[in-house]
Structure 1
Amino acid sequence: MAVGKVSMAGWALCMVLVLAALAGTVAETRYEKFLRQHVDFPQTSTLAAHRYCETMMARRRVTAQGRPCKPTNTFVHASAEELVAACSQAPDAKGFHSTPTSMALTTCRLRGRDTHPPCAYRARQVQHHVQVSCLNGLPVHLAGSYPPSQ
């Protein structure tokens, strides 16, 4: 009987280790989260701009069931490589890195004051430079955007 208990304990430990290893491979890095929440290249086409925001916010899990609606989120319609290139630019006084060229963006802002799903968004499309925070040469936070100088 003692052998059976040892085998069962060994099997349980093995399963815990396997599950822990699997959980580790599913974990999202900060860069992967940045890409999921902010990069849509090439841009997903939809019928109307407001539908774009509501579709993308849900599809990319920016808003999730049981959680408050995110007040604002920006999707960049440029390649991940173009945003990674921003990290090689000198940071500004606040430590943000800017893209050397302007990019197509869609900013989604929550309509109304209700912060509980279903979330309704207003879309605004602009051509702006993007400011990011970088970690180990990769963008991990979209800090803002600004229009190109005229």
Structure 2
Amino acid sequence: MAGWALCMALVLAALPEAVGESRYEKFLRQHVDYPRTSVFAAHRYCETMLARRQVTAPGRPCKPSNTFVHAPAGELVAACTQTPDTAGLHSTPTPMSLTACRLRGGDTRPPCTYRARQLHHHVRVACLDGLPVHLAGTHMPPREV
């Protein structure tokens, strides 16, 4: 009986989308990579991370874009305390290090190939109950005059 329980625990741990993943947990899985994961082939960061975090998977269409934020989750939670814009979105008060992944080519079927860009931008999030649940985009810090 203990073996069966261990097997089920391993299956559920391997499937982050399994029953019980909150919207905040899904947000963390899809968008927070702090500290930044070192991958064997740096030019394959996006493909590696999207597969590892089960954002892309065989049988699913490729996600057109995804952003990984390389800052502690608490800094994104703190964004939810900022005054929302007219669309109801909250921005981080300071720019953050991130990797923006964009699908290469027009084919949306796996294998998915991405172009990665390293940026230092503010992050816009939608919040629910004081927690970020959707990464709505990023924007450059204002230019100093």
TM-score range, shorter chain: 0.7 to 0.9
Q: Give the match for residue 102 of structure 1.
A: 95
Matches for 1:66-145 after TM superposition, within 5 Å: 66-145=59-138
Tell me which residue corresponds to 2:56: 63
| Counterpart Cα distance in 1 of 2:42 and 2:141 | 23
Q: Give the C-alpha shift of residue 27 in structure 1.
A: 1.7
- Counterpart Cα distance in 2 of 1:48 and 1:77: 18
Contact 1:72 1:107 in 2 (8 A): yes
Quote the RMSD (CA, aligned, Å). Answer: 1.5
Structure with more of its chain in helix, by fraction:
1
Structure 1 residue ranges (4+ consecutive) displaced by more than 6 angstroms after TM superposition: none
**Percent identity of equivalent pairs:** 73
Measured in 1, the distance between the counterparts of 2:119 and 2:39 equals 17
Please list, as runs of the form range in 1=range in 2, the aligned pairs for 1:5-24 lying within 5 A after superposition: none
User: What is the CA–CA distance in structure 2 between the aligned matches of 1:138 and 1:53, rounded to whole Å?
Assistant: 25
Find the residue that maps to 2:71 and give its secondary structure: coil
- Report the TM-score, using the length of structure 1 for normalisation: 0.81
Structure 2: gaps spanning 5 or more residues: 1-11, 13-17
Residue ranges of structure 1 left out of the alignment (5+ in a row): 1-21
